[in-house]
A and B are shown apart, each in its own frame.
Chain A
Amino acid sequence: MATQSRRLPLPTLAGRLPAYLMPAFAFLLVGLLLIWLAVNLFKTPSEFYGLFLIGLTNGAIYGLVALGYSLVYGILELINFAHGDVFMLGGMLVATMVSSFGLAGDSGAFLWAMILLMLVIVMAFCAVINTTIELVAYRRLRHAPRLAPLITAIGMSFILQNVGLVWKGARPTSVDSILPRGEVFSISGVAYTWDKLIVLLFTVPVLVVLILLVQRTRQGKAMRATAQDRDASAMMGINVNRTISFTFFIAGALAGAAGLLYALYITNIRYDEGFRLGLIAFTAAVVGGIGNLPGAVLGGLVIAMIESFNNGLGWATPGSDWTQSIIFGLLIIILVFRPEGLLGEQTPEGG
């Protein structure tokens, strides 16, 4: 493999500085972060808990989207820019289904059955879109220079965004609120509501199933083998094209599940939401170590916590105006100083 034979050590910024400087810097950063959190916790504990719960819920959704990036990057070393937009289309489909099924005001077993049905439909929908994109746009470019599929991915992302724009218009589409929003329990006056819990209740089984799939099944073994060396795995009798298609299928299904949860929990979706959230989720995947599945979820949680705390906390907080800058600043810092992420392994890009 041309792309995989170039694993030469490159000079990194870290390599030129004294060895103790990097950990010292990292500890300083984390320490400041912890002090900031502790002071805020002490000053306004109830706000802190509330934001923590929001961060946990958003983190689950980011994690689901980040998993898709991570899976695809792991197997093709391609940043699938269109992934966020597949997620957005899934959310839009959910918005359509909720209003056309007339689910507003329903409750009980019927509602749950319908939500499960919608979950299946939207996962299949997004999985088919994602697999089609791979088939149409990326497969021909397997051996092209790496710029080519990346640029194609950006193009696909723009096309899907335009589909969303034409489908639902430029204004946010609101989704009827159908999740129960009652209280599960409360910490110091802050209620943990059912809709937040439901997001977690959907995310955790999906994660467990996915990790079992990749680590325990034959198909998962084929995926890991293909990620390591396509030619060698072909020689071992693995159908490489089908494995890659399967990966895109799984990634799309995850995006669909995330789309459903997002649409039902946030209750509105806009055509450019997918791209924005996709970038955040990609950052999450990088923070956790791209190609590493638990890392993607961890990254999603970290990013969502940072976002949530930065949007809501009062003491020495830049505020929501700067959230995006902080997230991308973090992305740049991680890529420059620790390209393998928090849990990941070495990649040829980072050196």
Chain B
Amino acid sequence: MNIPLLPPERRGEFDSEVRRRGIRGGIAVVAGIVLVTIFSGFTLSLIVAAALLLAIYAVPWDMWRYGRFVVPAVVIVLAILYPYFRDNLFELPLFGVFPSTDTAVTMTIFIMMAIGLNIVVGYAGLLDLGYVAFYAMGAYTAAWFATPHFSQYGTHHFGAVGVNPESPGFHLSIWIVVLLAGIFTALIGVIIGLPTLRLRGDYLAIVTLGFGEIMPQIARNGDDLFNTGFNLTNGAQGINPIDPPGFGKTISDLTGLPSDYLTFNSSFLGKELGNVEVFYWTALVLLLFTVFCSVRLRDSRLGRAWVAIREDETAAAAMGVPLMRTKTWAYAAGAFFGGLAGAYYASFKGAVFPDDFFFNISVFILCMVILGGMGNVWGVIVGGGFLAYLNQEGLGNIGAEINDTLGTNIDVPLYQYGIFGTILVLVMLFKPEGLIPSARRKMEFEEGVADQPLYDVQR
């Protein structure tokens, strides 16, 4: 090994580290290959994946100055290329095939929401059980400003693609709508937060739960709001069709970006690209933006104030952290990304229905944050991706696999919320800091937990 960027005196250390990790990682990787080959068969992609994993793990990248960017860069490149190599990938035992690109879009969007919730729960330590309200706000914003819904207010078009220019109602470009949804939802977050954030702990949780229950009811009954005949949400039928994203003809001609996602059809590097791929890449861009903002926010003055409040509210207040303002900002930031994701998801699905916004979704997103590791963006990405995959495809695959092998007839997706509940309980009992914890959060969860309380000693 000869990496010129490493100072000569550290080469010995580097080599021994590579040897140490190489042996450990090598054994794990070989075991993995054998396992997958036995259960699902061998393909070339298995070797490639194994080599990549080994290279990432065995080389102590953090000894190099820019090493901390290596793993994120590899992950980003793999994510971008995913539609290209997905069809040639090996199958995993139990889980079966890797998620389709369509599922990957949903996964990406749910990861965005989980990162948004992570700002509230993970950074600021405020348990929000009504996050679905923000998702609903974002989705309905898209439904108001990119559909024929408000046809009684005339015809207003601004940059919308893929719709008849005669179509009544508001039709803004979906990019403006997504941004608008974020800002609008953040405002709602502030409005909800101002009176309630004074409460502590579980009272706050129950109040947010209340808002999370009220929101879908407004959506369901909003077709005739307070008997005035004003149709806000179109009731149980939901609102559709929501305009697809796209850049319009002018920008498309100038830059080659797709003009309308739904009708997009092209081929690049030998692969037929349909609308799912562009939806996926756009979601990826939005996710990168979310991750970037989240990481930068965490390291900012505001982010440190959040952590201070999480660890000890009274001490933070004594140190001059303005409690209300800081908490409200956490709410607003979390809500912003929820709205962003909600609006984009609505545009991806082309419709919103009030039944999409039940309490279950709030717990589902909370489960992502907790499984991955509260407060750690990377953990939340892993947790969110995994659970969204399980929800969309994974449980079905696992069920089919189990039934095939054992000859049983178990409906695994029926146990969906039982499984999520079990995950919540098990993680909280045995690894409350999550799978990929942030070091700081880990200490908080472990501090004092193992202390022998006075009343356990007696008798």
The residue that A286 contacts in the complex, of B125, B206, B314, with Cβ under 8 A, is: B206
Contact assessment for A230 and B455 in the assembled complex, using a CB-CB cutoff below 8 Å: yes
In the complex, whether B100 has a CB less than 8 A from a CB of chain A is no
Cα distance, A235 to B196, chains bound together (Å): 38
In the complex, whether B20 has a CB less than 8 A from a CB of chain A is no
Contact assessment for B421 and A351 in the assembled complex, using a CB-CB cutoff below 8 Å: no
The residue that B432 contacts in the complex, of A144, A158, A318, A349, with Cβ under 8 A, is: A144
CB distance from B204 to the nearest CB of A (A): 8
Contact assessment for B199 and A335 in the assembled complex, using a CB-CB cutoff below 8 Å: yes
Contact assessment for A166 and B414 in the assembled complex, using a CB-CB cutoff below 8 Å: yes
| Main DSSP-derived SS at the B contact region | helix
Residue of B nearest to A133 (CB): B425
B206, B415, B451: which has the most chain A beta carbons within 10 Å?
A: B206
Across-interface contacts of B454 in A (CB, < 8 A): 231, 234-235
Contact assessment for A145 and B217 in the assembled complex, using a CB-CB cutoff below 8 Å: no
In the complex, whether A239 has a CB less than 8 A from a CB of chain B is yes
In the complex, whether A28 has a CB less than 8 A from a CB of chain B is no
In the complex, whether B209 has a CB less than 8 A from a CB of chain A is yes
The residue that A332 contacts in the complex, of B210, B421, B425, with Cβ under 8 A, is: B210
The residue that A155 contacts in the complex, of B129, B201, B218, B425, with Cβ under 8 A, is: B425
In the complex, whether B406 has a CB less than 8 A from a CB of chain A is no
Chain A 304-334 per-residue mask, 1 if CB under 8 angstroms from chain B, else 0: 0000000000000010011011001101100
Cα distance, A282 to B421, chains bound together (Å): 20
In the complex, whether B207 has a CB less than 8 A from a CB of chain A is yes
Contact assessment for B421 and A155 in the assembled complex, using a CB-CB cutoff below 8 Å: yes
Across-interface contacts of A43 in B (CB, < 8 A): none
Q: How many residues of A contact B (CB 8 A)?
A: 65
Contact assessment for B199 and A350 in the assembled complex, using a CB-CB cutoff below 8 Å: yes
Across-interface contacts of A350 in B (CB, < 8 A): 199-200, 203
Across-interface contacts of B459 in A (CB, < 8 A): 239
B96-133 CB contacts (< 8 Å) to partner A: 121, 125, 127, 129
Residue of A nearest to B428 (CB): A152
Contact assessment for B415 and A331 in the assembled complex, using a CB-CB cutoff below 8 Å: no
Q: If the complex has contacts A325-B214, A331-B206, A332-B210, are A156 and B421 also in contact, measured as CB distance less than 8 A?
A: yes
Q: How many residues of B contact A (CB 8 A)?
A: 57
Contact assessment for A143 and B448 in the assembled complex, using a CB-CB cutoff below 8 Å: yes
Chain B 43-71 per-residue mask, 1 if CB under 8 angstroms from chain A, else 0: 00000000000000000000000000000
Across-interface contacts of B453 in A (CB, < 8 A): 142-143, 230-231, 234
CB distance from B99 to the nearest CB of A (A): 24
Contact assessment for A11 and B198 in the assembled complex, using a CB-CB cutoff below 8 Å: yes
Cα distance, A230 to B198, chains bound together (Å): 27
In the complex, whether A91 has a CB less than 8 A from a CB of chain B is no
Contact assessment for B417 and A141 in the assembled complex, using a CB-CB cutoff below 8 Å: no
The residue that A282 contacts in the complex, of B206, B423, B444, B449, with Cβ under 8 A, is: B206
Cα distance, A234 to B456, chains bound together (Å): 9
In the complex, whether A12 has a CB less than 8 A from a CB of chain B is yes
Across-interface contacts of A332 in B (CB, < 8 A): 195-196, 207, 210-211
Contact assessment for B449 and A155 in the assembled complex, using a CB-CB cutoff below 8 Å: no
The residue that A322 contacts in the complex, of B217, B424, B458, with Cβ under 8 A, is: B217
Across-interface contacts of B423 in A (CB, < 8 A): 155
Across-interface contacts of B204 in A (CB, < 8 A): 349
Cα distance, A154 to B369, chains bound together (Å): 14
Cα distance, A319 to B200, chains bound together (Å): 33
Contact assessment for B199 and A324 in the assembled complex, using a CB-CB cutoff below 8 Å: no
B277-314 CB contacts (< 8 Å) to partner A: 314
Chain B 134-146 per-residue mask, 1 if CB under 8 angstroms from chain A, else 0: 0000000000000
Residue of A nearest to B195 (CB): A336
Residue of A nearest to B374 (CB): A147
Contact assessment for A162 and B421 in the assembled complex, using a CB-CB cutoff below 8 Å: yes
Cα distance, A161 to B422, chains bound together (Å): 12
Residue of A nearest to B451 (CB): A143
Cα distance, A10 to B313, chains bound together (Å): 11
In the complex, whether A137 has a CB less than 8 A from a CB of chain B is yes
Cα distance, A12 to B418, chains bound together (Å): 38
CB distance from A94 to the nearest CB of B (A): 22
Contact assessment for B417 and A13 in the assembled complex, using a CB-CB cutoff below 8 Å: no
Q: If the complex has contacts A155-B425, A324-B213, are A162 and B418 also in contact, measured as CB distance less than 8 A?
A: yes
Contact assessment for B221 and A322 in the assembled complex, using a CB-CB cutoff below 8 Å: yes
Contact assessment for B203 and A145 in the assembled complex, using a CB-CB cutoff below 8 Å: no
Cα distance, A145 to B310, chains bound together (Å): 10
Residue of B nearest to A226 (CB): B455
CB distance from B311 to the nearest CB of A (A): 10
Cα distance, A321 to B454, chains bound together (Å): 51
Cα distance, A157 to B213, chains bound together (Å): 17
Contact assessment for A331 and B210 in the assembled complex, using a CB-CB cutoff below 8 Å: yes
CB distance from A316 to the nearest CB of B (A): 10
Q: If the complex has contacts A151-B370, A239-B459, A279-B209, are A158 and B202 also in contact, measured as CB distance less than 8 A?
A: no
10 contacts between A and B (CB under 8 A): A148-B445, A162-B418, A234-B455, A239-B458, A324-B214, A325-B213, A335-B199, A349-B199, A350-B199, A351-B199
Given contacts A241-B456, A325-B214, A349-B204, 4 further A-B contacts (CB under 8 A): A151-B428, A152-B428, A234-B458, A331-B210
Q: Which 8 A-B pairs have the closest CB atoms?
A: A162-B418, A158-B421, A155-B424, A234-B455, A328-B210, A240-B455, A155-B425, A349-B203
